[in-house]
Amino acid sequence: MADVVVVGAGNAAFAAAVAARQAGASVTVLERAPQAEAGGNTRFTAGAMRCAYASVDELRALMPDLTDEEVARTDFGAYPQGAFFEDMGRVTEYRTDPELCERLVTQSYPTMLWMAEQGVRFQPIWGRQAFQVDGRFKFWGGLTVEAWSGGPGLVDAWTAIAGKLGIEVRYGARAVSLVAGDGGVTGVRVKQGGTTYELPARAVVLAAGGFQANVEWRTRYLGPGWDLAKVRGSRFNTGDGLRMALEIGAAPAGQWSGCHAVQWEKNAPEFGDLAVGDAFQKHSYPWGVLINARGERFLDEGADFRNYTYAKYGREVLKQPRQLAWQVFDAKVARLLRDEYRIRQVTKVSADSLEELCAKLEDTDGARALETLRAYNAAVRTDIAFDPNVKDGRRTEGLAIDKSNWANTVDEPPFEAYAVTCGVTFTFGGLRIDPASGAVLDVDLVPIPGLYAAGELVGGLFYENYPGGTGLMAGAVFGRLAGMSAGRG
């Protein structure tokens, strides 16, 4: 028996486990995956964490390895709580639960400090969130910090911390159902090594992710066509935690028809590949043009910083014929493409002319694509300066869908095009929790004794879209909250 059982072994789960242990509880973590694939979606992320901060001094408290020279050549700016609140409201169309959002924002920096105190290391996101202008790096989009060595490094750090604290982790241990009665939750039924057993506990924290790897649930809740999407992360995130809670009367919350979905390598495998990790993503689209199989543009590539559009644009690609789009770039912006464009596992064509490039676009109307690119080039306001660090207003005029920012002409060879489809990261629908304790509420909106939740299976934070780096931050904030509450009993 353990005082607290945590279901899952990603960022949210370990935050809960460590917080519960610090509250004096004995803790057992159940990880459905074998150890080689452990860590849930966290293992597949780049490790970015969005937190509010007032100054570079606050960042240095999180990242003591920062040198004076690095600080001198970098404009880290500030990301006040008000900006975080505004981003959460704007990108979710102001549907985000205000109490959950308030806890996320106000506890983001304190939670990062707590993580650092436990031994989690952080670093600036030099390669993905900053561009060098006049010899000085400038961060943009409110996202500055990532875990050392990305998602895999974060999982490794949490695992080491848990080991030092005497937290037991059982791998290959699938939680099948909750042990519950009139008095609440008193344990978990576990299947491990072909044997099913009951693990008694004073409290259970569910932190087992969403249902994105469950093709039947994706089609049921997200709608037709979502069975054709790729899964960016773990094949084990099939909604077990959600199912177990709903079976005992937990209240659902949030947008069950919504998810975080990005542009993803067209020929990536069905589930995430740990050897490739997050590199199947293709996030430099603001610098180029997106063309569908009909040879047409279908969205505003420069509507906002990548941080604020990437999680919804995968859905737009899924709506296109053959669930396909091509990201087209020319030599002027090649230096701005992220490292993920340089991996071996890409579907890419190159050419020295637009005519040749469009002829190479498989499953695409090349003649129409050439017309689209020529019309786009003619519509670019070349009198407006290009600046990747700000929404520069360099736009097109007169197109059916204008590009709002970063509209460079595509006219300097060599040209490149990358084939993308939709990759699902996590689902937005989840359980309703008490924002003050992390306790799961039942359908009468009463806390279920002994049951808490954190991470992707908490509903109500995200609707339609998502600010980059908020998932890991929310997992840590609500994982710590749930763990403290469960540990205190």
Residue 72 per-residue DSSP state: H
- pLDDT for 135 equals 75
Which ranges constitute the DSSP H helices of 240-384? 240-247, 306-318, 354-359, 366-379
Domain that holds residue 198: 2-211+428-488
* Strands, sheet with 48-49, edge to edge from the N-terminal-most edge strand: 48-49, 145-147, 122-124
Which ranges constitute the DSSP H helices of 319-403? 354-359, 366-379
In a domain, 229, yes or no: no
Residue 222, Cβ density class (10 Å: 0-12 exposed, 13-18 middle, ≥19 buried): buried
Same domain, 122 and 136: yes
Termini Cα distance of the chain: 15
In a domain, 254, yes or no: no
Six-digit token pair at 23? 């509250």
Six-digit token pair at 482? 């749930």
Give the residues of the chain that fall short of pLDDT 50.
Answer: none
Same domain, 390 and 315: yes
In a domain, 242, yes or no: no
Give the residue from 327, 3, 27 showing the smallest Cα distance to 169: 27
Give the integer Cα–Cα distance in Å for 11 and 16: 9
In a domain, 380, yes or no: yes
CATH number, domain with residue 314? 3.90.700.10
Q: What is the DSSP string of 443-483?
A: TTS-EEEEEEE-GGGB-SS-SS---TTHHHHHHHHHHHHHH
Residue 398, Cβ density class (10 Å: 0-12 exposed, 13-18 middle, ≥19 buried): exposed
- The domain boundary residue, chosen from 423, 444, 479: 423
Give the integer Cα–Cα distance in Å for 377 and 344: 30
In a domain, 251, yes or no: no
Q: Against a cut of 0.85, is the pTM above it?
A: yes
- Helix 11-22 and helix 470-488: axis angle, to 10°? 30
Residue 92 per-residue DSSP state: T
HEC per residue, 286-304: HHCEEEECCCCCCCCCCCC
In a domain, 287, yes or no: yes
Q: Which residue has the tokens 């859905």?
A: 315
List, in sequence order, every residue forming a beta bridge with 191; answer none if it has no partner.
174, 196
- The domain boundary residue, chosen from 376, 398, 423: 423
In a domain, 60, yes or no: yes
- pLDDT for 137 equals 81
Look at strands 2-7 and 195-206 and give their pairing. parallel
Residue 234 per-residue DSSP state: -
- pLDDT for 131 equals 73
- pLDDT for 370 equals 98
Give the integer Cα–Cα distance in Å for 54 and 78: 5
Residue 238 per-residue DSSP state: S
In a domain, 139, yes or no: yes
Give how far the C-alpha of residue 4 lies from the chain's centroid of Cα atoms, to the nearest Å. Answer: 27
- pLDDT for 134 equals 73
Give the integer Cα–Cα distance in Å for 382 and 409: 8
Give the integer Cα–Cα distance in Å for 443 and 384: 55
Give the integer Cα–Cα distance in Å for 111 and 371: 51
Question: Under 8 Å CB-to-CB from 471, ≥6 apart: which residues?
Answer: 41, 45, 260, 425, 426, 456
Give how far the C-alpha of residue 200 lies from the chain's centroid of Cα atoms, to the nearest Å. Answer: 33
Same domain, 207 and 320: no
| Cα diameter, the chain | 71
Per the structure, the count of domains in the chain is 2
Backbone angles phi, psi at 169, to 5 degrees: -120, 120
Give the integer Cα–Cα distance in Å for 137 and 395: 24
Give the integer Cα–Cα distance in Å for 123 and 299: 33
Same domain, 172 and 291: no
Same domain, 358 and 460: no
